[in-house]
Amino acid sequence: MSHITLTFLIIAAVVVLFITDAIPVVLVALGTALALYFTGVTTPTESIGGLGDPAVIFIASLFVVSAGLDASGVTAWAGQELIARAGQSRGRLLVLMMTLVAVLTALISVNGAVAALLPVVVVMAVRLKRSPSQLLMPLVFASHAGSLLALTGTPVNVLVYEAATEAGLGPFGYFSFAIAGIPLIIGTIAIVVMFGQRLLPERSGRTLPADLSKHDLTLVEQYRLDDGLFQLRIRANSPYVGMPATGLDLGRYASLTLVAIQAGDGSGRLRRPLLAEGDLLIVRGDAQAAGALAADQLLAFRTQDAPEDVTKTLFNRNSGLAEIIIPPRSGLVGQSVFPGMITPSGDLVILAIQRRGEDTGVEATVLAAGDTLLVQGTWEALDRNLADPDVLVVDSPELVRRQAVPMGVGAKSALFVLAGMVALLATNTVPSAIAGLVAAFAMVLLRVVTVDQAYRSINWTTVILVGAMIPLSTAMSKSGAANLLAEGLVSLVGDRSPYALLAGLFVLTAILGQLISNTATALIIIPIAVAAAKGIGISAAPVLMSVTVASAAAFLTPVATPVNLMVMGPGGYEFGDYWKLGLPLLLLFFVVATFVVPLFWPF
């Protein structure tokens, strides 16, 4: 059996397995690479070489950059600004939302942008009394258009960039994709604003992401932290000035518990070993005892008017709150704790304890299964200590921080790193993979994300899918399968015109892209497109860019891309809802891919 026949059989099997979803896509991709090796179509180096391809390295690095923007609160800030500016106008809301996700997608990829904005848009829908189904599909479809604004928008762009370089065209510029992307974004927004309300259902999903934007205030009210909580500022002549923070003893004031010590400069929890003028002691208990403490130790009361004042002190860009539950068989069952107690790690303080929803008071409590504790500390301390199997965390501190702390610690560093990466890519100073690695390295070095967070942020399914499918693209070129398909496509369009070739490639790419991953589709189509362009004697540049546009037109089914599927539950969508709005958008993408692209990339 010839290598061409073997390649076609493997492609057919891959497409069937992708469509039926009978086997996880990662196994299908790895199986593809193995099948090509064992059938002799590719060498061992070619079969596994895709996992180390520069495109794969670049794609993995983009996930880390995306995580840095998300973890530092940059995306939370963007979402809050969107809610503040949208008002009650449906048109303004859609234009702002779709523009925001398009720009964010161009910088951190489709998956990262939609994942970051999905909770924000759901909360926005609830607050503005709109159906999530009217907003979530436009969010996703705008991200597809936004992926064509810059090289970093989608893995397909990176693959096309590499293909153009290999074809001797010279790499596409970082913003070259925007020539096609800008009209697509404008057209997508126009279609959604004019026809979306009629083409989209009015539904709410069964599963909606939790709104944690006001999580701090919820915890303060539930645990009644504002009840009997006092902030006392250390005066210049107070005996506490110069005293070790760990030696502070309120034993003389039996009804008071020390909740936290905040630095006087507003930077959050005190990290210095010694107390100084201006530092704040946050105590909880009887007002008379608090007054006695202030008088004895020359402290000044700091007035509070609302629970929000408490949250600014306990919950800010440096420190936060977390609610934990003591599970059955926990090693903490039977231990004695009390409000104000510092945990054995030395970096968390217990603010309150509840049993069956009732506060246990200021006295020591022997922990039992089911008790809930509210703890406070730096975000780093919360992340580090609450991974303990002896406790169950109600809401992940990392998730809370991403939603509720806009422009938090590391936000400026994250934006600086992003700007640096864009500059390197735009000027083509270094290869794209190097630029991505430098940016990911900087995110970790500047402590925007930890090493563990960087590992977790990478969507390994996408990385392995791309790396393991690259050998299939190699096999198509090496075996002659790509040339054979290209010749068939060329003979089909005949001498009509190069436009007919673009139209045929768009239809082929778009059909496959509704059924399998658009990244996998691009890997199959790219060698065919390059060979077809060579076959009729035209430049491969417009053909590759047309394939890029077609790959982004994954609108008709929920399985076309991960983000299409991501909004299916929260939006309450059914399988047949996608094509109604997707079809006019598909026609828009067809027009741009077939007739607009050649205006800027001549045949």
- Residue labelled with tokens 């290598």: 3
Q: Is-contact 196 449, C-beta < 8 A?
A: no
Q: How far apart are CA 437 and CA 585, in angstroms?
A: 35
pLDDT at 252: 78
Structural domain span for residue 261: 215-313
Q: Residues 133-152: what's their mean pLDDT?
A: 91
Q: What is the mean pLDDT of residues 582-589?
A: 94
Which whole-number Å values give the CA distances from 406 to 66, 89, 285, 306, 403, in the listed order? 15, 24, 32, 21, 7
pTM, to two decimals: 0.68
The residue ranking higher by pLDDT, 111 or 16, is: 16
Per DSSP (E only), the strands in 356-411 are 358-359, 365-366, 372-378, 392-393
State the residue for tokens 């201006």.
Answer: 278
pLDDT in tens, 263-316: 777 666 677 888 888 888 888 777 788 888 888 888 888 755 444 556 666 777
Residue 190, pLDDT score: 95
Q: How confident is the model at residue 144 (pLDDT cuts 50, 70, 90)?
A: very high
The predicted structure's pLDDT at residue 213: 65
Does residue 180 sit within a domain?
no
How far is Cα of residue 165 from the mean position of the Cα atoms in its chain? 30
Neighbours of 245 (CB within 10 A): 16
Q: How far apart are CA 172 and CA 163, in angstroms?
A: 10
CB of 58 within 8 A of CB of 467? no
What CATH number did the domain enclosing 275 receive? 3.30.70.1450
Which residue type sits at 153? G
pLDDT, position 303: 58
The percent of residues above 90 in pLDDT, for the chain, comes to 13
Confidence class for position 187, pLDDT limits 50, 70, 90: very high
Q: Chain-wide mean pLDDT for the chain? A: 81
Q: Compute the distance between CA of residue 391 and CA of residue 377 in angstroms, rounded to an integer.
A: 16
- What proportion of the chain, given as a percentage, has pLDDT over 70? 90
- Judge whether 414 lies within some domain: no
Residue with tokens 């030696």: 247
Q: Provide the pLDDT confidence category of residue 495 given band limits of 50, 70 and 90.
A: low
- pLDDT tens sequence across 45-104: 888 888 888 878 877 887 888 788 878 878 777 777 777 777 777 888 899 999 989 988
Could you give the CA distance from residue 157 to residue 544 in angstroms, rounded to a whole number?
10
In a domain, 440, yes or no: no
What is the model's pLDDT at position 267? 63
pLDDT at 198 over 50: yes
267 lies in a domain?
Answer: yes
Query: Closest Cα to residue 567, out of 210, 124, 139, 153?
Result: 139
**Does residue 353 surpass a pLDDT of 90?**
no
Max intra-chain CA distance, the chain? 97
Nearest to 58 by CA among 156, 143, 189: 156
pLDDT at 307: 46
pLDDT at res. 63: 80
- Look at residue 2 in the predicted model and tell me its pLDDT: 84
pLDDT at 305: 45
The answer to whether position 21 is within a domain reads no
The per-residue pLDDT for range 497-515, each reduced to its tens digit, is 788 889 988 988 888 777 6
The answer to the question of residue 251 being in a domain is yes
How many domains in the chain? 1
Structure tokens given for 302:
């700091």
- The label of the residue with tokens 């809301």 reads 93
| The pLDDT of residue 323 is above 60 | yes
Q: Is residue 328 part of a domain?
A: no
In this structure, is residue 277 part of a structural domain?
A: yes
> What pLDDT does residue 309 have?
57
| pLDDT at residue 306 in the model | 44
Low-confidence winner among 82-86, 187-191, 410-414 (lowest mean pLDDT): 82-86
268 vs 555 pLDDT, higher one: 555
Select, from the ranges 255-264, 494-503, 538-547, the one with the highest average predicted confidence (pLDDT): 538-547
> Are the beta carbons of 525 and 512 closer than 8 angstroms?
yes
Confidence at residue 596, expressed as pLDDT on a 0 to 100 scale: 92
Q: Encode pLDDT of 357-395 as tens digits.
A: 888 876 788 888 889 888 888 777 887 888 788 888 888
Nearest to 523 by CA among 158, 168, 169: 158
Task: Give the orientation angle of helix 178-199 with respect to helix 133-146, to 10 degrees.
Answer: 170
Comparing CA positions, the residue from 380, 396, 310 lying closest to residue 345 is: 380
The dihedral over CA atoms of 280, 285, 290, 296, expressed in degrees to the nearest 10, equals: -90
